[in-house]
């Protein structure tokens, strides 16, 4: 299948040690991503106001890159906000943070991603109440993203990071319960490798719901440096006629440039290039 490739860039010092290929130097990362042949970058910014949109537009255009998506996780990492927090003021600040990221990303035709901002039930909020809070937030923010003609991306995470949705199927149950149709799922192969019984089968079952992919190996190293069998996963993406980005969200192992290069090698190995 043809691929729309992307690579992650973190601009959040507090997220150091996290699964992002490039770090801190947005311009340098864009240059390298472009040199290696990526179509787009996925940015993890410290907040909605910390990247100048005019400068970003110039930078992306100069390198022939698109913006694939923008992460919202700094709301959790930096400010300890999440959508199911027991305190309503914290929940509402979490929504404000994500809404502002949607407003930043939307004009680039890029969706915002809700990963760690989904929080977890437990500490003062029972599972049903937390599910209700999350659904309400996805309704509102999903509809808000419509203003830009982009979806909102919701990411099931492994059990050590959330108990809201750990699998593609659990994510689909949430999506089906919503009245908005503007929320899609992020299939992160690292989380899926922990939680799914069968990765290609989970992807096939996610037809129509999966809108973004984090492409990474079992140990969260770049594709090819762990034990995930990528060929049947790519075949499953092809079978469901997946049209979204395949984005490298992996540790910068052994270093950012090598991680990006290794991912590009895997993309060339597994995906057809239409010469686009």
Which residues of this chain interact with ligand LER, rule CB under 6 A?
18-19, 73, 115-116, 155, 157, 161, 188, 214, 249
Site size toward Mn ion (CB under 5 A) is 3
Closest-CA residue to 20 (of 171, 231, 203, 190): 190
Query: Where does residue 79 rank: exposed (0-12), middle (13-18), buried (19+ CB within 10 A)?
Result: middle
In terms of CB distance, is 137 or 186 closer to Mn ion? 186
Residue 59's DSSP bridge partners are none
Residues 6+ apart with CB under 8 A from 272: 1, 2, 3
Residues 6+ apart with CB under 8 A from 207: 239, 240, 241
- Per CB under 5 A, the list member of 72, 137, 175, 188 interacting with Mn ion is 188
Catalytic-labelled residue, pool 42, 155, 195, 196: 155
Give the three-state DSSP class for 225.
Answer: coil
Kindly report the backbone phi and psi dihedral angles of residue 149, in degrees, each rounded to the nearest multiple of 5, phi listed first: 70, 25
In terms of CB distance, is 155 or 195 closer to ligand LER? 155
Q: Which does 180 bind (CB under 5 to 8 A by kind): ligand LER, Mn ion, none?
A: none
Least Å distance between CB 191 and ligand LER? 6
Residues 6+ apart with CB under 8 A from 212: 68, 69, 111, 113, 153, 155, 184, 185, 186, 187, 244, 245, 247
Least Å distance between CB 102 and ligand LER? 16
Which residue is closest to ligand LER by CB?
A: 115
- Per CB under 5 A, the list member of 85, 214, 221, 262 interacting with Mn ion is 214
Catalytic-labelled residue, pool 42, 195, 196, 249: 249
| 155/262 Cα distance (integer angstroms) | 24
In terms of CB distance, is 75 or 106 closer to ligand LER? 75
Q: Which does 39 bind (CB under 5 to 8 A by kind): ligand LER, Mn ion, none?
A: none
In terms of CB distance, is 118 or 182 closer to ligand LER? 118
- 62 C-beta neighbours (distance < 10 Å), count: 12
Which residue, chain included where needed, has tokens 């039930």? 121
Least Å distance between CB 54 and ligand LER? 27
Catalytic-residue membership of 261: no
Catalytic-residue membership of 169: no
Give the three-state DSSP class for 10.
Answer: strand
Q: Which does 206 bind (CB under 5 to 8 A by kind): Mn ion, ligand LER, none?
A: none
In terms of CB distance, is 106 or 115 closer to ligand LER? 115
User: Catalytic amino acids?
Assistant: 155, 249
């Amino acid at each position: 299948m043809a691929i729309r490739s992307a690579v992650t860039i973190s601009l959040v010092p507090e997220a150091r040690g996290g699964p992002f290929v490039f770090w801190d130097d947005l311009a340098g990362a864009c240059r390298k991503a472009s040199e290696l042949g990526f179509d787009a970058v996925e940015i993890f910014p410290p907040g909605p106001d910390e990247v100048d949109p005019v400068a970003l537009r110039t930078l992306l255009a100069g390198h022939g890159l698109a913006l694939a998506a923008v992460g919202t996780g700094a709301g959790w990492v930096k400010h300890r906000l999440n959508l199911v927090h027991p305190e309503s003021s914290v929940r509402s600040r979490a929504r404000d943070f994500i809404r502002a990221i949607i407003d930043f990303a939307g004009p680039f035709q890029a969706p915002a991603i809700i990963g760690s901002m989904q929080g977890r039930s437990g500490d003062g909020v029972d599972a049903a109440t937390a599910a209700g809070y999350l659904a309400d937030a996805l309704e509102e923010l999903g509809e808000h993203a419509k203003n830009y003609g982009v979806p909102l991306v919701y990411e099931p995470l492994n059990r050590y990071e959330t108990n809201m949705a750990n699998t593609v199927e659990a994510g689909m149950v949430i999506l089906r319960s919503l009245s908005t149709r503007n929320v899609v799922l992020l299939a992160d192969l690292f989380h899926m490798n922990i939680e799914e019984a069968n990765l290609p089968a989970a992807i096939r079952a996610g037809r129509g719901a999966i809108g973004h992919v984090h492409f990474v190996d079992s140990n969260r190293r770049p594709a090819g440096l762990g034990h995930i069998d990528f060929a049947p996963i790519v075949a499953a993406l092809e079978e469901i006629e997946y049209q979204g980005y395949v984005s490298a969200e992996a540790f910068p192992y052994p270093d950012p440039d090598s991680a990006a290069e290794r991912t590009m090698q895997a993309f060339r190995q597994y995906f057809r290039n239409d010469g686009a």
